[in-house]
């Protein structure tokens, strides 16, 4: 059982370039999330999705876009990369029960550096 798979693990981008961070889960979870983690700052929510075709902004959505065409996949798009987007990005998924979040399962992260 693979759980949550993120690709790539590492990436270096030049300012102004674009890229897509891939995330796939095989647990049939409805909810999926993208977080970024900066040193000493905890996890900040970028975007999330409660099901295929439904996405919503989190705390720090500027400079990012997402789509959710299938239950399994939740790619994160960076347009016009900036140094402020240097961070570690985590994708996560969870199921829900009676409106409550169950535990979220996290991928191993993508370490992105923008130079």
Q: Minimum distance between the CB of residue 15 and other proteins, rounded to whole angstroms?
A: 25
Does residue 28 belong to the site contacting other proteins (CB under 8 A)?
Answer: no
> Phi, psi (5° rounding) for residue 75?
-75, 150
Q: Is 109 in the site for other proteins (CB under 8 A)?
A: yes
CA distances for 58 relative to 27, 35, 46, 65, 93, angstroms: 23, 9, 5, 11, 15
Phi, psi of 82 (to 5 degrees): -125, 155
Pairing of strands 10-13, 110-114: parallel
Query: Exactly one of 21, 24, 36, 48 binds other proteins (CB under 8 A); which one?
Result: 48
Restricting to residues 68-107, name those near other proteins by CB under 8 A. 90, 92, 96, 99-107
Q: Which residues bind other proteins (CB under 8 A)?
A: 4, 31, 33, 35, 40-45, 48, 50, 58, 90, 92, 96, 99-109
């Amino acid at each position: 059982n693979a759980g949550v798979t993120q690709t790539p693990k590492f990436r270096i981008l030049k300012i102004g370039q674009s890229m897509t961070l891939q995330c796939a889960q095989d647990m049939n979870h409805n909810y999926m999330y993208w977080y970024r983690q900066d040193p000493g700052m905890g996890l900040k929510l970028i975007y999330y999705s409660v099901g295929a075709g439904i996405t919503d902004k989190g705390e720090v959505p500027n400079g990012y876009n997402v789509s959710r065409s299938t239950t399994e996949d939740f790619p994160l798009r960076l347009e016009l990369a900036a140094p402020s987007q240097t961070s570690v990005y985590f994708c996560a998924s969870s199921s829900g029960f009676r409106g409550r979040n169950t535990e979220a399962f996290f991928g191993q992260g993508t370490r992105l550096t923008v130079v």
